Amino acid sequence: MQSFMEKLSRVFALLGGIVLIVLIIMVCLSILGRSLNSILNSDILQSVVPGLTNFLLATGVGPINGDFELVEAGMAFAIFSFLPICHLNGAHASVDIFTQTLPRRANRFLRMLVEIIFAAILVIIAYQLFLGMLSKQGSGQTSFLLQFPVWWAYALSVVGAVVAAIVGVYIACMRVLEFTTDQNILPLEMGADH
């Protein structure tokens, strides 16, 4: 089961990474287009080479239409896509100034309790996103510029949130098993200590 969760988490991390790369390229192109559009519309270039500037402007040089709508939708998916691998590897930041002096068994109990709470929160988030998606789908709401249905972005986020919830529940179950058997099953947290 551990290898399946790792593969699932890696696939979603790769998908999230691809989405982030595409978003970065799109934002860079949009900024470049916006800057080039401003330069081509400048009084100096319009007076020196009006034919060339008008030709380039006619090709549609400018910002990418709806870039912020795409970034908004893509970032939500990317965040939920990275959460499973981060959670599976225990890569969350941890503050253990008080718990480092506790006995191992007490730390194991606290780790189990935190994982159960985190799993419950992930399930609630996935469920609420699903309800939000159904609401947006039912209302027919579309984005302002691109006019794509808003529920599409919710659907992508729901998929990532469900995977994060599945991984969260798995980790919580393994931490319960670790507490009851007093054995290490999952790797300990690798997070940044503060």
- For residue range 125-136, what is the model confidence (pLDDT) as tens digits? 999 999 999 999
Three-class secondary structure of residue 142 per DSSP: strand
- Confidence (pLDDT) at 184: 86
Strand, coil or helix: 193? strand
Residue 158 lies in a domain: yes
Domain ranges, residue 55 = 2-181
Number of structural domains in the chain: 1
Locate 89 and state its tokens: 């590897």
Give the residue from 145, 166, 194 showing the smallest Cα distance to 30. Answer: 145
- 50 found inside a domain: yes
Q: Give the amino acid at 88.
A: L
pLDDT bin (cut points 50, 70, 90) of residue 193 is: very low
What's the token pair of residue 103? 């006995």
Q: What's the pLDDT score for residue 194?
A: 41
Domain contains 192: no
Is residue 187 included in any domain, yes or no?
no
| Nearest residue to 129 (alpha-carbon basis) of 181, 83, 176 | 83
Residue 191 inside a domain? The answer is: no
**Mean pLDDT, range 175-191, rounded to an integer:** 81
Residue 113 lies in a domain: yes
∠ CA 9-10-15, nearest 5°, is: 100
- SS3 of residue 94 by DSSP: strand
Inside any domain, residue 193: no
Angle value at C-alpha 75, between 72 and 77, nearest 5 degrees = 110
